[in-house]
């Protein structure tokens, strides 16, 4: 576990531009909207025959994954290549870098190769923040998920997906269902939704999977699907990790599905035009039934498409922020 200080002292340059992307917490509505709008332009570009832009040409992006994730790694790699960057993928055993000093050694080795950006995924909360604090100036750091703390690019691809289908956030009731306690995705979503002005944010979970004082984040808490889903505009299911089943937090997969799995029957409590989302990979028959996951209200495949665009947006914006800071220091 790494200590996390005020993230915005690290995330923004002196002009208020993004130079690292560590968390959605504390970022302004203007900045989150800029990420969404920039990503929105990349969605359309990704549908064209030529899918490359030269925004990161000549830059080296290192995907530094201390925790494995094929899906997230693939989308970051594709995003970097579509920005014309050179990409290096490193899957590093967490055991060999469990101490901060060892992690610093790894970073210094990579910096000596003149890398320009680190995309970091780590099982310890605060790892991306630690790396951003200790990295060489002008190297951007993107958080691809750290412990239970944050997964900001997942949250922002979800915000883009909501914006493209629902438009304005201000009237929306958004319900997040599942393992809130261990979910870095849920935390990042809640911070983003609050900043973007969603009317109401709800979390639905059994008591054993709810963090203490979760209400302090500005959410309404429910332990019943029926009440939590009532008149919801957006329903976000969370992935239930198998290890939670082996602990004493849940009785069984079938019991969880019975009470908290999303079925067409339960979805009837939401608004008729409600949309359904899931960060993936899906556990069918545990968090969600196939008829819903593959149904007309599901935006799960849209999320995958939008994920590439959002990662292109934060990578290009962070690199631009780093270059602005470098130029300002040169002028000074």
pLDDT value of position 8: 63
What are φ and ψ of residue 237, in 5° steps?
-90, 145
Task: Please count the helices (runs of H) and the strands (runs of E) in the chain.
Answer: 13, 9
pLDDT value of position 95: 46
The annotation status of 99 as a binding-site residue, yes or no, is yes
Query: CA–CA distance from 211 to each of 96, 125, 186, 205, 216 (Å)?
Result: 30, 16, 11, 10, 10
**Domain coordinates of the chain in residue numbers?**
7-150+305-325, 152-299
Query: CA–CA distance from 194 to each of 30, 55, 189, 212, 282 (Å)?
Result: 13, 31, 8, 19, 26
The annotation status of 72 as a binding-site residue, yes or no, is yes
> Which residues of the chain register pLDDT less than 50?
95
The annotation status of 154 as a binding-site residue, yes or no, is yes
Q: What tokens does 173 get?
A: 């009731």
CB 116 within 8 A of CB 300: no
The annotation status of 295 as a binding-site residue, yes or no, is no
The annotation status of 326 as a binding-site residue, yes or no, is no
The annotation status of 281 as a binding-site residue, yes or no, is yes
Q: Which CATH class is domain 7-150+305-325?
A: alpha beta
pLDDT value of position 119: 96
**Would the CATH topology of 7-150+305-325 be identical to that of 152-299?**
yes
CATH level 3 topology of 152-299: Rossmann fold (3.40.50)
CB 275 within 8 A of CB 301: no
The annotation status of 151 as a binding-site residue, yes or no, is yes
CB 268 within 8 A of CB 229: no
């Amino acid at each position: 576990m790494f200590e996390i200080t005020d993230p915005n002292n690290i995330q923004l340059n002196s002009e208020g531009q993004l130079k690292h992307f560590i968390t959605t917490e504390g970022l302004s509505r203007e900045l989150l909207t800029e990420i969404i709008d920039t990503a929105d332009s990349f969605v359309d570009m990704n549908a064209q025959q030529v899918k490359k832009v030269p925004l990161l040409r000549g830059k080296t992006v290192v995907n530094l994954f201390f925790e494995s994730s094929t899906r997230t790694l693939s989308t970051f790699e594709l995003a970097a290549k579509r920005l014309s960057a050179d990409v290096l993928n490193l899957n590093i055993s967490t055991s060999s870098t469990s101490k901060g000093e060892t992690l610093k050694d790894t970073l210094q080795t990579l910096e000596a190769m003149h890398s320009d950006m680190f995309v970091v995924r780590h099982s310890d909360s605060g790892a991306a923040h630690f790396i951003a604090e200790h990295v060489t100036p002008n190297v951007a750091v993107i958080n691809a998920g750290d412990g239970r703390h944050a997964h900001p690019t997942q949250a922002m691809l979800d915000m883009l997906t909501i914006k493209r289908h629902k438009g304005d956030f201000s009237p929306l009731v958004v319900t997040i269902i599942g393992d809130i306690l261990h979910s870095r995705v849920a935390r990042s979503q809640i911070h983003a939704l609050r900043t973007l002005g969603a009317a109401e944010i709800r979390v639905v979970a059994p008591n054993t999977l709810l963090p203490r004082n979760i209400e302090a984040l500005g959410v309404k808490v429910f332990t019943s699907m029926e009440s939590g889903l009532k008149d919801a505009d957006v329903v976000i299911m969370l992935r239930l990790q198998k290890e939670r089943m082996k602990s004493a937090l849940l009785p069984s997969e079938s019991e969880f599905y019975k009470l908290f799995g999303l079925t067409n029957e339960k979805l009837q409590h939401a608004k008729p035009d409600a949309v359904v989302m899931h960060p993936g990979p899906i556990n069918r028959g545990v968090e969600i039934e196939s008829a819903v996951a593959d149904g007309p209200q599901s935006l799960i495949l849209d999320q995958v498409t939008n994920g590439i665009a959002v990662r292109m947006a934060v990578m290009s914006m962070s690199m631009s922020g780093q270059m602005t800071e470098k130029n300002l220091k040169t002028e000074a």
